[in-house]
Structures are given as structure tokens and as C-alpha cells.
Amino acid sequence: MSHTEYYFNQVSQIAKQIDYEAIENIASALKDLREKQGRLFVLGVGGSAGNASHAVNDFRKLCDIEAYAPTDNVSELTARTNDEGWETVFKGWLLTSKLSENDALFILSVGGGNSEKKVSVNLVNAIDLAISKKSKILGIVGKPDGYAAKKATNIVIVPILDSNLITPHSEAFQAVIWHSLVSNPKLQTKETKW
């Protein structure tokens, strides 16, 4: 079997194993967020940061949800990284944005953060801040044992079928799942162009 066939066989299996109820629960949480005029802060690092930017566009344009990705402002991101450190970059951004109990984080991550292993500690610190502010924590992650999976209010975990493909499958399914959300009749308020 070629790599391509193997990869797409796994895509098919993952699509069948995704927790559909967890996705519907996130849709309901986002509907509630919009109804109470809360803001959605989409956090991701690396490829997930690129996904965060795209997701923010869709939540704003198609669902009328006030949404932001801190990684979209490269000047502030790099200034905070330089002056305060990478580990607190999201926390500082959220504090300036006055994160509150009316708001929610939406974590897009492969691992979901791990302080002990010093991986995505900026997500861990943002999650801790959200907990202290009583904000909802939503997300799509690839590892069930990461910090986001343990602390989130509503989370979708992308099934792991091959540990060598966690990153590509997790980041690809972030896009599949958020597109499912923004096209969900519970959330979509505007039609797409095509």
C-alpha cells in the first residue's frame, strides 16, 4: 500500500470515529456564547495558528461570532515574546483583552500543551487564566492526555491511528471540524458565496 492510500484510509477511519456529539456540544456552546455576546479567542501554535486565523474569519463572517486570534497580530505577538517570554504570550494578550466569564477560548492544538515537557506552555497558561476567569474552554486536539483535553469545557479529540501521523491528521481535522461548526444551522447566519 502506498503512503497516499494508507494516509487516506486513515482519514476515512478517523472521520468515522470522531465524536459527533462532542462537535454538537461545541456548536451549542458557541451558540450560547453568541447569544450572550461573548467573544471567542482562537489559540494555536504553528500550523494550528494558521488554522486559528482561518477559523476566526469563518466564525466572524458566517456565524456573527466576535472572534480573534492573537497570532494574527505579529507585532504584538513578537513584542510580547521578546519582552515577556513565549510562555505567557497568550495570557498577556488575553489579560489586555479583559477575558471574562462571558468569553471562551477555542484551543487548536496537536498536543494541547504540557508544562512538564515544556511544549505549548503558552496554551497551558492561557487555559489556566480562562479557568480563573470562568471562561469556557473549547477545542480540537490530537492528544487525549494533553492539558487542553484535561481542562476543556467541551473538546473534540482527533482519534490517533498512527503515532507518526498525529500532527497532520490533527491539524487537517481541525479544519474539517471547524467547517462543520460554521456550517451547522445552529451557528451559520450567513450563506457562503458558493
In a domain, 102, yes or no: yes
Residue 11 is assigned to a structural domain of this protein: yes
Helices 20-35 and 47-63, packing angle to 10 deg: 60
Q: What CATH code is carried by the domain that includes residue 41?
A: 3.40.50.10490
Residue 15 lies in a domain: yes
| Helices 121-133 and 89-96, axial angle in degrees (round to 10) | 30
Please provide the distance, in angstroms rounded to a whole number, between the alpha carbons at the two ends of the chain: 36
Residue 158: is its pLDDT beyond 90?
yes
Q: Does any domain span residue 189? A: no
Q: Is residue 157 part of a domain?
A: yes
pLDDT mean across residues, the chain: 97
Range of the domain at 127: 3-182
> How high is the pLDDT of residue 65?
98
List, edge to edge, every strand of the sheet that includes 104-109: 66-68, 39-43, 104-109, 136-141, 154-157
- Unique residue bearing C-alpha cell 489556566: 128
In a domain, 174, yes or no: yes
Cα 53 to the center of its chain, rounded Å: 10
Question: pLDDT by residue (tens digit) across 45-66?
Answer: 999 999 999 999 999 999 999 9
Q: What is the 3-state secondary structure (H, E, C) of the chain?
A: CCHHHHHHHHHHHHHHHCCHHHHHHHHHHHHHHHHCCCEEEEECCCHHHHHHHHHHHHHHHHHCCEEECHHHCHHHHHHHHHHHCHHHHHHHHHHHCCCCCCCEEEEEECCCCECCCCECHHHHHHHHHHHHHCCEEEEEECCCCCHHHHHCCEEEECCCCCHHHHHHHHHHHHHHHHHHHHCCCCCCCCCCCC
Q: Scanning the structure block, which residue is given the C-alpha cell 472572534?
A: 67
In a domain, 164, yes or no: yes
Residue 193 banded pLDDT, cuts 50, 70, 90: confident
Count of structural domains, the chain:
1
Q: Give residue-wise pLDDT tens across range 67-110.
A: 999 999 999 999 999 999 999 999 999 999 999 999 999 999 99
**What pLDDT does residue 108 have?**
98
